[in-house]
A = this chain, B = another copy of it.
Amino acid sequence: MLRAVDVIQHKRDGHELSREEIAFFIDGYTRGAIPDYQASALTMATFFKGMTRAETVALTEAMMNSGQVLDLSELAGPKADKHSTGGVGDKTSLVLAPLVAACGVYVPMISGRGLGHTGGTLDKLEAIPGFRVGLSLPEFRDVLRRSHLGLIGQTPEIAPADRKLYALRDVTASVESLALISASIMSKKMAEGIDALILDVKTGDGAFMQAYDDSLALAETMVAIGRGMGKKVSALITDMDQPLGRACGNALETIECIEILRGAGPDDTRELSIELGAWMLHLSGSPHGLPAARARIREALASGAGLEKFREVIALQGGDPLILKLLQLLIGLGDAVEVFQNFR
């Protein structure tokens, strides 16, 4: 019979844990049968000993299976998402998600809050007056079916083991483990029911991984996990030596995204959003390769289809569509801020 203390000792002594050991531990921990003090010993041992690719995949799967895994097979067509490891001014999600959805790929985006010094997509969404980030999973599915796009926050049903384990790692100094970071991110993304995922791994002064080699290792690990689970996954390692775009702050960043979708806005945010969006199309099977995918995204931007998609999802998720109409009438950023402030 498996015992938690033996699993800890195996890891401590540098052995590779079996799928059964990992599933036993994560399941027991999620149910409360294995206490926090054994989980923190295991995460600290993992900090020192690392995990093999096979272990990391098994951990990701165990955490994913601790909760609901969305089955979106009723939606005909590819489903894709993007994950960024986070940076300052990183706001590409709100640009690329409408663009990709406008190209016919489903984007079931479940986002997190800001972490440390970095912002979170969820926080930016909440800057949109009335926007409901807390849809139930059935509501989320319905919005997705109607608009190809849904934007919500983490729910308790998705990967509860990760939620519990992350909170524990945070107070036991075992956050900075490549295997644990990778499995944490991927367990939530793989629960979204997607076929394809593009990873934006930041590197530089404003990123969590400041050294290029660390960013590369994180990217490789996450790609290996995703592919090990049968998904189309690639990663771009992108610069975070300076903030992305011009705006920092949730309302200001949301406005910057709308500016880009209107055909304006800063080049760096726009180009990175286009590149990541193109990869999402490409990984989703868009014909004629990446250059053609880039062209499709640019067309969705130029035609205003992306902005219209964003307006559509805001309306479906309870936001006031008046805000978009007003923004289309406005020309300057200062005035846009004023409109936002009047709504809040």
Contact = CB atoms under 8 A, between A and B. Distances in A.
A343 interface: no
A47 interface: yes
Interface string A4-48: 111011001000000000000000000000011111110111011
Contact of A39 (B37, B168, B173, B174): B37
A174 B37 CA distance: 12
A41 B5 contact: no
A161 to B, nearest CB: 15
Given A44-B45, A48-B48, A38 B172 contact: yes
A171 interface: yes
A168 B37 contact: yes
Interface in A154-186: 168, 170-174
Given A44-B44, A44-B45, A37 B5 contact: no
Given A35-B36, A48-B48, A9 B41 contact: no
Q: Chain A: interface residue count, which band?
A: 20 to 34
A9 B172 CA distance: 8
Contacts of A43: 41
A46 to B, nearest CB: 10
Max count, chain B CB within 10 A of own CB: residue among A9, A12, A35, A173 = A173
Contacts of A4: 171
Contacts of A40: 37-38, 40-41, 44
A12 B45 contact: no
A179 to B, nearest CB: 15
Given A35-B36, A48-B48, A41 B172 contact: yes
A40 to B, nearest CB: 4
B38 A8 contact: no
Interface of A: 4-6, 8-9, 12, 35-41, 43-45, 47-48, 168, 170-174
